[in-house]
Homo-oligomer: A and B are copies of this chain.
């Protein structure tokens, strides 16, 4: 975890889980790495992990079985919504940022062509 970055560690942690879901490594009903193990793995305070999990729980993405652990929600619909909304949010905040800073669609198109992401 990058301690000095602007993004809170607990957000970095929850983003990792979300990333695993979106990439298909974690699916509906799967167990999530335990707070204790995650704490060791990422070298952060257990409370920070818990904080991340609580956040995901509030968003309905994971739930907890007392004494057992956290699990990915069983509602596939929520995971699908996540996939769609996350994408929309990333795209829109990116475009917003781009325009505010005075760049144009042409700048963007050129950059994407240059990187081989779109062609012609």
- Which A residues are within 8 Å of any B CB, using their own CB? 3-4, 8-9, 15, 18-19, 22-24, 58, 63-66, 68, 86-87, 90-91, 94-95, 97-98, 100-103, 105, 107-109, 111-112, 115, 117-118, 120
Complex CA gap A117/B110 in Å reads 12
Interface of A is mostly: helix
Instruction: Contacts A9-B66, A22-B102 known; list 14 others, CB within 8 Å.
Output: A3-B65, A4-B63, A15-B100, A18-B101, A19-B101, A22-B103, A24-B102, A58-B58, A86-B101, A87-B111, A90-B97, A90-B103, A94-B94, A120-B120
**Which B-chain residue is minimally distant from A93 (CB atoms)?**
B94
